[in-house]
């Protein structure tokens, strides 16, 4: 008992007679025969270079064409009686099939709409592992394969010139990006350079996708809209900012805020060198550490004061880049933050390394206190016969480290907190940049307007269900869930920032490992 499924474009109803071009497939068990009709042509001469086989013909009236059935292995003749489709002759795998036994299902679809949908194709391709006999997937794949290979030979000359220029632009961009990649280890420190690199890459990707039809129109649409929103909001904010600070020089502003930061830090260190929070820390050690850090801060402040003219120039460059969009401004802010908090970072590194050394030393000496030693060969702690010398020096060192721990710990906690704050701010700015780039306004509008270009699932409706006549279903693409649609239409170069690992962060804080920006 064979079942025949026939996918047919809906504009069949408008025609009187035509030739059916498409593909044929047979299920693995041999009981289902599928005809994919992808093109309706009037005569053989209209055939383009698409690789489709002639699978049948259709005519409304009773007259039939010259019977070409004998030459084909799979053949289908479709007729139309009172607007009901039915099959006149059917040849499957060389055998003519008796019209009474098979079950026939017609599925009509709107070909132009199906050519335009992209998400349907992607959704179908995802389930490749699940169901090998997904006929819809094969249909989509065939449509995609046939209709996207239409070459641009029939284009106007002006379009050709534009394409030519764009191709050269892409070559130039490739060259620039290669240069960036070479300098990447140095430029990685500045988030502005990273942002510039990302935006150039996205631009190249968009051009590539548009010219060579490599990426979906949705993603490119999203990218264009996001960039436009970015630039416009950047201009607005810049205008507002300039109106606020038009009186003072921007470098003076920067210097002023840096001076505030330096003063605050000095006050903080003075507080730590005294009796912070009522804790009485070791006097000599405390004074030594405090003086050392204050010296560092003074050094940084002198450097800033000396570099004032350079700051003017740098600020001018920042303003130029700021015009490129809000994401660039966020990147510039991140850079300024890193610059202004450099001394905090330095002091934090010192304090963290000292704390780490002290903790690991204490741990090793505690084992010596108990008369044990770590055995790296077996990966465990064994008892050990120490000499009196070793015990003497070891216990003295343990006592010293133990009583100096509160002082180190105080400094470490204070500067760790500051460093975490700065890191959190920097992380926030990175995520703002990601959000601005990935905001899917275009997709959202399309989805709200129920446009078929964002459809990701199918709606099947029964058109004819009478006895004696084959079942006719109609298939229309509809929009899927908003979240899935948005997820699939984020432009390719936009990468989500990596998630924060809270467990390892906590462990790093406790043991004194350095925290890197996340």
Partner 1 sequence: MKLKKTYVQKPRKWKKNLYENHGFLDNYTDTSFLEELRKNLNVKDSPLPTIILGAGRVTHELCIIVLFTVIFVYLYNGWVEPEAVFMYSGCLTSLGYILYRFFLTAAMPYTTLLKDLRTVLVFLGFGYVLSPVLKTLTDTISTDTIYAMSTFMMFIHLVFFDYGISASIVSSALSLNAALFASVCLASRLATPFHAFVLLTNTVECFALLPILVAEIEDSAVILSTVILLSLVALCTVSVTMTVLFSCVVIFVTIICPLLFKKWTRYKENIYGPWDEAVVEDQEM
* Interface with partner 1, residue 445, by CB under 8 A: no
Q: To the nearest whole angstrom, how small is the minimum distance from the Cβ of residue 407 to partner 1?
A: 10
The closest of 47, 102, 103, 56 to 79, measured between CA atoms, is 56
From 69, 400, 420, 439, residue interacting with partner 1 (rule: CB under 8 A)? 400
**What does the block give as tokens for 86?**
């039915």
* Interface with partner 1, residue 228, by CB under 8 A: no
**Phi and psi (nearest 5°) for 9?**
-70, 150
Strands 53-59 and 75-81: parallel
SS3 of 218-253: HHHHHHHHHHHHHHHHHHHHHHHHHHHCCCCCHHHH
- Residue linked to tokens 């641009």: 152
From 388, 468, 499, 502, residue interacting with partner 1 (rule: CB under 8 A)? 388
Q: To the nearest whole angstrom, how small is the minimum distance from the Cβ of residue 403 to partner 1?
A: 4
From 283, 295, 313, 316, residue interacting with partner 1 (rule: CB under 8 A)? 283
Which of the ranges 205-213, 236-244, 385-393, 469-477 carries the binding residues for partner 1, by CB under 8 A?
385-393
* Interface with partner 1, residue 236, by CB under 8 A: no
Which of the ranges 288-296, 316-324, 355-363, 391-399 carries the binding residues for partner 1, by CB under 8 A?
391-399
* Interface with partner 1, residue 389, by CB under 8 A: yes
**Phi and psi (nearest 5°) for 373?**
-150, 150
Task: Say how far apart CA 89 and CA 58 lie, in whole Å.
Answer: 11
**In DSSP terms, which residues pair with 459 in a beta bridge?**
476
The closest of 57, 58, 56, 50 to 75, measured between CA atoms, is 56
**In DSSP terms, which residues pair with 84 in a beta bridge?**
81
DSSP state for residue 453 in the 8-state scheme: G
Task: Say how far apart CA 311 and CA 257 lie, in whole Å.
Answer: 13
From 114, 315, 398, 411, residue interacting with partner 1 (rule: CB under 8 A)? 398
* Interface with partner 1, residue 374, by CB under 8 A: no
Which of the ranges 43-51, 378-386, 440-448, 502-510 carries the binding residues for partner 1, by CB under 8 A?
378-386
Would you call 294 exposed, middle or buried from its count of C-beta atoms within 10 A (0-12, 13-18, 19+)? middle
**In DSSP terms, which residues pair with 288 in a beta bridge?**
none
Task: Say how far apart CA 159 and CA 207 lie, in whole Å.
Answer: 15
Q: To the nearest whole angstrom, how small is the minimum distance from the Cβ of residue 366 to partner 1?
A: 10
* Interface with partner 1, residue 24, by CB under 8 A: no
Give 148's contacts (C-beta < 8 A, 6+ positions apart): 213
Which of the ranges 236-244, 400-408, 452-460, 506-514 carries the binding residues for partner 1, by CB under 8 A?
400-408
Q: To the nearest whole angstrom, how small is the minimum distance from the Cβ of residue 281 to partner 1?
A: 7
Q: To the nearest whole angstrom, how small is the minimum distance from the Cβ of residue 356 to partner 1?
A: 21
Task: Say how far apart CA 404 and CA 77 lie, in whole Å.
Answer: 95
Which CB, 13 or 392, lies closer to partner 1?
A: 392
Q: To the nearest whole angstrom, how small is the minimum distance from the Cβ of residue 271 to partner 1?
A: 17
Which helix (H) or strand (E) segment holds residue 292: the answer is helix 283-306
Task: Say how far apart CA 354 and CA 228 lie, in whole Å.
Answer: 49
Which CB, 320 or 396, lies closer to partner 1?
A: 396
Which of the ranges 203-211, 368-376, 408-416, 440-448 carries the binding residues for partner 1, by CB under 8 A?
368-376
Which CB, 238 or 384, lies closer to partner 1?
A: 384
According to CB under 8 A, which residues from 402 to 431 bind partner 1? 403-404
Give 440's contacts (C-beta < 8 A, 6+ positions apart): 222, 226, 486, 489, 490
Which of the ranges 1-9, 152-160, 394-402, 477-485 carries the binding residues for partner 1, by CB under 8 A?
394-402
CA angle 475, 481, 482 (to 5 degrees): 125
Which of the ranges 53-61, 78-86, 233-241, 275-283 carries the binding residues for partner 1, by CB under 8 A?
275-283
From 232, 371, 465, 506, residue interacting with partner 1 (rule: CB under 8 A)? 371
* Interface with partner 1, residue 178, by CB under 8 A: no
Classified as helix, coil or strand, 185 is helix
From 87, 90, 281, 494, residue interacting with partner 1 (rule: CB under 8 A)? 281
Binding mask 323-362 for partner 1 (x = CB under 8 A): ----------------------------------------
From 183, 391, 413, 501, residue interacting with partner 1 (rule: CB under 8 A)? 391
Task: Say how far apart CA 210 and CA 166 lie, in whole Å.
Answer: 10
* Interface with partner 1, residue 274, by CB under 8 A: no
Q: To the nearest whole angstrom, how small is the minimum distance from the Cβ of residue 400 to partner 1?
A: 6
Binding site residues, partner 1, CB under 8 A:
280-284, 368-371, 383, 385-386, 388-389, 391-396, 398-400, 403-404
């Amino acid at each position: 008992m064979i079942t025949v499924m026939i996918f047919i474009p809906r504009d069949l109803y408008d025609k009187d007679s035509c030739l059916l071009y498409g593909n044929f497939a047979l299920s693995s068990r041999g009981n289902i025969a599928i005809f994919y009709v992808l093109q309706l042509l009037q005569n053989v001469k209209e055939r383009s270079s698409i690789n489709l086989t002639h699978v049948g013909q259709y005519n409304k009236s009773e007259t039939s064409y010259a019977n070409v059935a004998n030459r084909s292995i799979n053949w289908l003749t479709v007729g139309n009686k009172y607007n009901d489709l039915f099959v006149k002759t059917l040849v499957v795998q060389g055998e003519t099939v008796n019209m009474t036994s098979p079950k026939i299902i017609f599925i009509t679809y709107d070909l132009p709409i199906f050519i335009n949908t992209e998400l349907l194709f992607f959704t179908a391709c995802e389930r490749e592992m699940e169901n090998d006999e997904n006929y819809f997937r094969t249909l989509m794949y065939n449509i995609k394969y046939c209709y996207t290979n239409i070459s641009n030979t029939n284009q106007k000359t002006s379009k050709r010139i534009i394409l030519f220029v764009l191709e050269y632009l892409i070559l130039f961009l490739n060259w620039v990006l290669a240069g960036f990649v070479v300098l990447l280890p140095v430029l990685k420190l500045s988030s502005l350079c990273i942002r510039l690199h990302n935006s150039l890459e996205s631009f190249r990707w968009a051009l590539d996708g548009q010219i060579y039809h490599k990426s979906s129109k949705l993603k490119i649409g999203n990218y264009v809209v996001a960039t436009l929103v970015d630039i416009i909001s950047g201009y607005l904010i810049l205008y507002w900012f300039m109106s606020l600070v038009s009186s003072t020089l921007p470098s003076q502003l920067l210097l002023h805020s840096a001076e505030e930061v330096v003063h605050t830090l000095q006050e903080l260190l003075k507080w730590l060198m005294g009796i912070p929070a009522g804790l009485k820390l070791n006097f000599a050690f405390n004074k030594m550490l405090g003086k050392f850090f204050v010296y560092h801060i003074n050094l940084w402040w002198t450097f800033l004061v000396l570099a004032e003219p350079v700051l003017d120039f740098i600020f001018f460059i920042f303003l130029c880049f700021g015009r490129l969009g809000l994401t660039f401004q966020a990147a510039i802010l991140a850079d300024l933050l890193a610059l202004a908090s450099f001394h905090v970072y330095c002091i934090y590194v010192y304090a963290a390394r000292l704390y780490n050394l002290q903790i690991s030393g204490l741990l090793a000496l505690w084992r010596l206190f108990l008369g044990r030693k770590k055995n790296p060969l077996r990966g465990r702690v064994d008892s050990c016969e120490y000499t009196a010398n070793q015990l003497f020096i070891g216990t003295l060192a343990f006592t010293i480290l133990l009583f100096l721990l509160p002082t180190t710990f105080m400094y470490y906690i204070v500067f760790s907190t500051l460093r975490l704050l700065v890191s959190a701010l920097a992380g926030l700015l990175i995520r703002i940049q990601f959000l601005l780039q990935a905001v899917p306004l275009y997709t959202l509008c399309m989805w709200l307007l129920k446009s078929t270009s964002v459809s990701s699932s199918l709606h099947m409706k029964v058109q004819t269900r009478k006895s004696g006549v084959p079942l006719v279903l109609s298939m229309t693409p509809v929009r899927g869930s908003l979240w899935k649609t948005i997820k699939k239409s984020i432009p390719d170069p936009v990468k989500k920032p990596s998630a924060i690992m809270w467990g390892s962060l906590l462990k790093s804080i406790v043991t004194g490992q350095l925290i890197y920006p996340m």
